[in-house]
Amino acid sequence: MAGILVDEQPCPVGGGFKTTCDYTGAMLVIGRRTAMITLSMSREAAKLVVAYMTGISPAELEEDDLADGMAELVNMIAGSSKSSLVGTDFHFRITLPFVLVGENQHIVYKSKPVDRCKHYFAGDIEATLELVYLEG
């Protein structure tokens, strides 16, 4: 549905790394451990991704469409991860997706660095996917 081929690379290692973005799609993953999956990108990137996903011209996409599209994307990513773990000991539940919207925002985690982080690139589109365990 998104129809985009992307290149990926690990995020820089180190405590100073921050992902700054305008839209973050997020879902909680609840199992033996509790984690949050986030997909973050700029407003321009979100427009392109949601346009690819829907077939709607970027110019016609409204703010609600972008937030909704980001929620659906992270839903699909978390859902795919969940499916790949069926039959293993790592079964988990996922919550409904939600979206953080705001210019140049980033998430500050209280106690832990990001556990898994990847950057994705496709032309002008840049996105960051993170998984963070939320236990103390």
Q: Which residues bind other proteins (CB under 8 A)?
A: 1-2, 50, 53-56, 64-65, 68-69, 71-72, 75-76, 78-83, 86, 94, 96
Shortest distance, position 22 Cβ to other proteins, whole Å: 17
Shorter beta-carbon distance to other proteins: residue 13 or 86: 86
Shorter beta-carbon distance to other proteins: residue 19 or 97: 97
Shorter beta-carbon distance to other proteins: residue 19 or 35: 35
Shortest distance, position 70 Cβ to other proteins, whole Å: 9
Instruction: Enumerate residues 6+ apart whose C-beta is below 8 A from 61.
Output: 47, 50, 51, 54, 69
Give me the amino acid identity at 109: Y
Give the number of other Cβ atoms within 10 Å of residue 97's Cβ: 23
Helix (H) or strand (E) holding 103: strand 98-105
Shortest distance, position 132 Cβ to other proteins, whole Å: 19
